[in-house]
Amino acid sequence: MFTGKAALITGAAQGLGKSFASALLKKECKVCAADNNEEKLQATVREFQDIYGENNVMYAKCDVTKEHDLEETFKRAKSAFNRIDIVVNNAGVVDERNWERCLDINLTGVIRGTLLGLKYLRKDLGGAGGTIVNVSSMAGIFPVEYSPAYCASKHGVVGYTRSWAFHPEVVKNGVRLLCLCPAYAKTDILNFQPESPEDLAQAQKSMEALGIMRVEEVSDAFIKLLEDSDNNGSVMSVTKQNTIYWKMPVPKF
């Protein structure tokens, strides 16, 4: 199902994005790894190229808050691989102090990546159909007292993704949209600075209660989400305890 296909992943230099890239490369999918951290991205792409071959992994320095960067990334991936089948809008930060930045990366960046994904995947626009996975969080389902802006950005990702998923023109043109909602996983994002000692205590309490996953636990769920069929519009959560699809209502008018 992945052999010979091509994926574009934002925030792929490290953490979950790197783990998603690695899981897809293992399954013989080509990967365009995009990130704004040039140094880390270069190291990651070199590491992947050594294992999977130079022609199967490409590098795209890309800031998801910049429309031009993302457009160029899609253009370059399409021209290098001659196709794009999977788009993973994964880049994200926790930043309550600069909450506009948090929304610009986590939500506006996902919107930009989704619109470009639709442009490249829709059959009526010259694509071959495919899948867009938007990375939300358990914070896209539940309230998070210590990071309300992050929580709002991730709720936004769920609503945005599901809205496009059920758009009749999108369904007709072969694009599937999915949301992945991980709980805590061991990446640099967990080193965020809460605004107060009380918020820090709350964050620690929540991490102790839920546990912290290895990135591979999340990328296993990511692959399952892609492999499962008939799941357009799904929201999948992954925690240390389980991986489940959320039964979210779709109104019928």
Ligand X SMILES: NC(=O)c1ccc[n+]([C@@H]2O[C@H](COP(=O)([O-])OP(=O)(O)OC[C@H]3O[C@@H](n4cnc5c(N)ncnc54)[C@H](O)[C@@H]3O)[C@@H](O)[C@H]2O)c1
Catalytic residue among 59, 150, 160, 184: 150
One of 65, 173, 202, 231 touching ligand X (CB under 6 A): 65
Interhelix angle 67-81/109-121, nearest 10 degrees: 30
CA distance 150 to 107: 9
Does position 135 bind ligand X by CB under 6 A? Answer: yes
Question: Which of 80, 93, 111, 223 is the binder for ligand X (CB under 6 A)?
Answer: 93
**Exposure string over 202-238, b if 16+ CB within 10 A, otherwise e:** bbeebeeeeeebebebbbbbbbebbeeeebebbbbbb
Q: Is 150 a catalytic residue?
A: yes
Q: Which ranges constitute the DSSP H helices of the chain?
A: 15-26, 38-52, 67-81, 99-103, 109-121, 148-165, 168-172, 197-210, 215-227
Selected binder of ligand X within 5, 11, 161, 225 (CB under 6 A) = 11
- From the list 86, 182, 217, 225, which residue makes contact with ligand X (rule: CB under 6 A)? 182
Nearer to ligand X, 140 or 233 (CB): 140
Cβ(129)–Cβ(87) under 8 Å?
Answer: no
Q: Assess 13 for contact with ligand X (CB under 6 A).
A: yes
Considering only the stretches 23-31, 78-86, 184-192, 241-249, report the one whose residues sit in contact with ligand X under the rule CB under 6 A: 184-192
Residue 127 found at the interface with ligand X (CB under 6 A):
no
Strand order in the sheet with 6-10: 57-61, 30-35, 6-10, 86-89, 130-135, 175-182, 235-238, 243-245
Position of tokens 């574009």? 8
90 sits near ligand X (criterion: CB under 6 A)? yes
Q: Which stretch binds ligand X (CB under 6 A): 33-41, 48-56, 165-173, 224-232?
A: 33-41
Which one, 133 or 185, has the nearer CB to ligand X?
185
Q: Provide the minimum distance between the beta carbon of 80 and ligand X in the complex, in angstroms, as a whole number.
A: 19
Q: Is 42 in the site for ligand X (CB under 6 A)?
A: no
Where in 105-124 is the site for ligand X (CB under 6 A)?
Answer: 105
- Minimum Å gap between C-beta 214 and ligand X is 11
The correct pick among 10, 147, 219, 237 for binding ligand X (CB under 6 A) is 10
Residues that bind ligand X (CB under 6 A): 10-11, 13-17, 35-37, 62-65, 90-93, 105, 135, 137, 182, 184-185, 187-190
- Catalytic positions, written as ranges: 150
